[in-house]
Each structure stands twice: as structure tokens, then as C-alpha cells.
């Protein structure tokens, strides 16, 4: 199974117009533009996904919607509380247990959860990984999702996929 961990794009700061709480923080105009460029790069690379799951927070949903639209996957996009803040290996196992046929799955979420998850999956004692906004990590793993049971195949900073947009 390939797991694509995509951190949401750049979002407005708490307290700015339209961001009355963390849940409602939307992507900035630059964040939208960068995620569109990143999604185009993924399409050009031939990325094929079986499903996209997103956190219910606005910035993650917007990020996932951009990717789904660009990859022609709007019908395979699902919002789930399991990817909300506090996501951990147990929640990820619960989510992926519903995806027996899924071989290539994108997860759109947040920090520090994704850095921890990626680190836990690739290192038995954890590994230090930093997911930048718009960053992408791809891990090959089996359905057991155990510490150190995955292999990191991509760790891509957003600038590489957006060409500095």
C-alpha cells in the first residue's frame, strides 16, 4: 500500500478575517495557487490514487478538493474526523481498515501529526521528519501499519512541486 501524506497548503492566521477559530482557517490566495501547481505536478508525474481522505478543517478540505479536482477524483474524496488534529497511528489504522482494496491512498492533514506519523511508520524508534505546508511524503507499507514497517519513497518539499510559485 502506498500512503501519500499531504500537509495542507498555506492558510490564513487565526484572527485574520474569516478565521474566527482554527477549524475555519482557509487557504490564502497564495496557498490555493501553490496547491494548484502542486496538483498539476502530481498529475504530470502520473500519480494515480484509489482514494483521498481529508481532515474536516477548512484548509485541509480546500487542499484535498484542489488535488481531487486536478486528478479527476472528486467522487473519491472523503472527509473524516480521523485525520483531524491529534491524528495518530491508531486513528490511521481505523481509517485504512475500511480500504482493503486501496493500494494508493492520499491523506490530507496537519502538523505535528503527519511528521510524527511518517516518522513512526519509517523508524522503529521513530524518525525525525518535518512536513512543510504543502509538503508530501509517500510511504510504502503493508496493512499492519506498524512502527518501522514502512519505507519512505518520497519526501518532497512544496517548492519542488510548485517550482517556486
pLDDT in tens, 55-96: 999 999 999 999 999 999 999 999 999 999 999 999 999 999
pLDDT class of 21 with cuts at 50, 70, 90: confident
Q: What is the count of structural domains for the chain?
A: 1
CATH number at residue 149: 3.40.50.1240
Q: Is the peptide bond before 112 cis (omega within 30 degrees of 0)?
A: yes
d(CA 77, CA 67) in angstroms, rounded, equals 9
In this structure, what C-alpha cell is assigned to residue 128?
A: 525525525
d(CA 39, CA 37) in angstroms, rounded, equals 5
pLDDT at 43: 95
d(CA 132, CA 158) in angstroms, rounded, equals 7
For residues 55 and 19, the model is more confident at 55
pLDDT at 165: 54
**In the predicted model, is pLDDT for residue 164 greater than 80?**
no
- Per the prediction, the chain carries an average pLDDT of 93
Contact criterion met (CB below 8 Å) for 65 and 88: no
Amino acid at each position: 500500500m502506498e500512503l501519500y501524506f499531504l500537509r495542507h497548503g498555506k492558510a490564513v492566521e487565526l484572527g485574520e478575517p474569516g478565521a474566527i477559530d482554527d477549524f475555519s482557517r482557509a487557504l490564502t490566495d497564495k496557498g490555493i495557487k501553490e496547491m494548484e501547481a502542486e496538483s498539476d505536478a502530481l498529475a504530470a508525474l502520473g500519480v494515480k490514487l484509489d482514494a483521498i481522505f481529508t481532515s474536516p478543517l477548512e484548509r485541509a478540505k480546500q487542499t484535498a478538493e484542489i488535488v481531487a479536482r486536478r486528478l479527476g477524483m472528486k467522487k473519491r474524496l472523503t472527509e473524516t474526523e480521523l485525520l483531524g488534529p491529534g491524528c495518530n497511528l491508531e486513528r490511521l489504522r481505523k481509517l485504512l481498515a475500511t480500504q482493503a482494496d486501496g493500494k494508493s491512498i492520499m491523506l490530507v492533514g496537519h502538523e505535528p501529526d503527519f511528521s510524527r506519523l511518517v516518522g513512526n511508520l519509517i523508524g522503529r524508534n521513530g524518525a525525525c521528519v518535518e512536513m512543510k505546508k504543502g509538503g508530501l511524503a509517500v510511504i510504502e507499507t503493508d496493512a499492519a501499519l506498524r512502527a518501522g514497517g514502512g519505507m519512505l519513497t518520497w519526501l518532497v518539499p512544496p517548492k519542488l512541486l510548485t517550482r517556486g510559485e
